[in-house]
Amino acid sequence: MELNNLVIIAICVVLGTAHYLIRQRHQPTQLIIRDANKAKQVLNNYDTASRARSNQRLHFTFGISNPFTNPDDKYRHEFRKVIAKSIKLDDKEWQNIKDIVLKTVNDYTHLETSQDSVVVEIVPWIQQITLNVVLRGYLGMTNIDKVIDEVPSMINNLWLISKELDCITARQDENLKFMLKTKCLFKDLFNMKASSRPQHKKQNKTRNVMEEISKIARSRFPCAFNKVPSSVADAADLSELNKGFHNPSGDDLVNSLNVIIPAYETMWRVVLYAILEIKIRPLLRNKETTEGIYNTNFENLGNAVKVFLENPKPNILKHDSRVTPLWHVIQETLRLYPPTRHIHREKEGLKVTVDVEAIHRDPKIWGEDALLFKPKRFHEKPEEASFIPFSTGSMKCVASETFAPTFAAIIISAILDRVNNVALNQEIKGTLFQKENGPFENNRRAFDKVKIKIY
């Protein structure tokens, strides 16, 4: 009996190794770029298909088909036009978003009259605030309470699973079942629970993003909406993942996550790291160090937040000297903690990875203090050509210049305005944040279960 078991184990090992070697033979050659000039050349010269090919895991994992995963260049162009139109907000609309943000932060930092503090897990707390504002403030959705409760952790878990799709793991079947189940839940939550309700004609033009994108999809890919949906077995066929592009289904093309993920994913990470540096970092330093570095980094930030919340709009954020300290915080957060740490392109058997984080932390570009969070560097020196948090060239994020920084600034300002102080327990100080002057870990698991006390 024991011999039989050993034989079975040996066969499994051989088959597993063979499967791995076969997959490796079909993997593209990899090139990692950490030079800013070479990175610019790659990002300017590679086409839509090269980006979509490297992002097929997102299509497979989330069931989306947007310009990140779809190689059709005309579709990308028309999709971007819809988004560009939807993010051109007037002063009244920015004020409305600010009101939604302030109410959201109040709701998620609620204190009973008998309390002077509340304990929250920092990542879910910021994720839920950010998603709430993206759905209500940008997309004009209503009836989203259940979505806010469930979706952030679902997106986070799927994203982590998507990184493991190349690997042979004992959990592969379990991961695939979870992916299929979660995609069904997404569809139910967004299609059945959430709804869009424009408040006036102007909002009807700018907020009805999904309807406009659906029209484009039906025009560009009519066959996808006439096709019988693939079976669960077909949808879970991991062996097909690296064989090229997959024809999108109708569900993929009208999936709300096509818009929500690009808007929400970047935003919550920028907000998280800005708050970590402003509120948490000083707690990790001794008093003498804190008084020097903290005051230098965030001089006049409190006044900038107050002025900005009175009149939040892009031109004030970038050009009003009273508000520029806040602008510098946003830029420095994007530099030290780029939401997209690596940008991938894949073409003709070559997979090129631009290491954005390495370029943003290169001391030859940013100085010997490149690993320090120093917002004033954007005051002392203009933005460098090596600052690429939103990529560059024709595929640079359409929201990068005004909408995304302004949206992030409103959320960050609202949190700073409503939260006076925070506290950490000694265990977190001792284990999670060992480098008091180095960057925080920039990954999705770095702050799992980390709780803070908010006053």
Model confidence at 232, pLDDT cuts 50, 70, 90, reads very low
Pairing of strands 141-142, 118-121: unpaired
pLDDT tens readout for residues 363-377? 999 999 999 999 998
**Which amino acid is it at 321?**
S
Segment 325-343 shows an average pLDDT of: 94
Q: How far apart are CA 137 and CA 196, in angstroms?
A: 11
CA dist 142 and 133 (Å) reads 11
What band does 36 get if pLDDT is binned at 50, 70 and 90? very high
pTM of the complete model: 0.86
Structural domain count of the chain: 1
Q: What distance in Å separates the CA atoms of residue 133 and residue 138, rounded to the nearest whole number?
A: 7
d(CA 80, CA 74): 10
Q: Is 432 helix (H, G, I), strand (E, B) or coil?
A: coil
Which domain range does residue 238 map to? 2-454
Give the residue with greater pLDDT, 313 vs 188: 313
List all residues 6 or more positions away from 426 whose beta carbon is below 8 Å from its beta carbon. none
**Which among 417, 443, 422, 418 is positioned nearest to 432, based on CA atoms?**
443
Quick one: average pLDDT of 34-46? 92
Separation of CA 381 from chain center = 27
Residue at 193: amino acid letter: K
Q: Which residue has better confidence, 289 or 277? A: 277
Predicted local confidence at residue 158, as pLDDT: 82
Question: What is the band of 178 on the pLDDT scale with cuts at 50, 70, 90?
Answer: confident
Q: Give the confidence band of 202 by pLDDT, cuts at 50, 70, 90.
A: very low
Residues 6+ apart with CB under 8 A from 3: none
pLDDT tens-digit map of 72-97 = 999 999 999 999 999 999 999 999 99
The domain that holds 56 is classified in CATH as 1.10.630.10
Please tell me the predicted confidence (pLDDT) of residue 146: 81
On whether the CB atoms of residues 375 and 293 are closer than 8 A, the answer is: no
From 49-58, 385-394, 446-455, the region with the lowest mean pLDDT: 446-455
Residues near 242 by beta carbon (within 8 Å), at least 6 away in sequence: 23, 26, 27, 56
DSSP state string for 152-195: HHHHHHHHHHHTTTTS--TTHHHHHHHHHHHHHHHHHIIIII-E
pLDDT of residue 112: 57
Does residue 6 have a pLDDT over 80?
A: no
- HEC assignment per residue over 299-362: CCHHHHHHHHHHCCCHHHHHHCCCCHHHHHHHHHHHHHCCCCCEEEEEECCEEEEEEHHHHHCC
Question: Which range, of 82-86, 354-358, 393-397, averages the lowest pLDDT?
Answer: 393-397
The mean pLDDT of the chain is 81
Confidence of residue 287 (pLDDT cuts 50, 70, 90): low
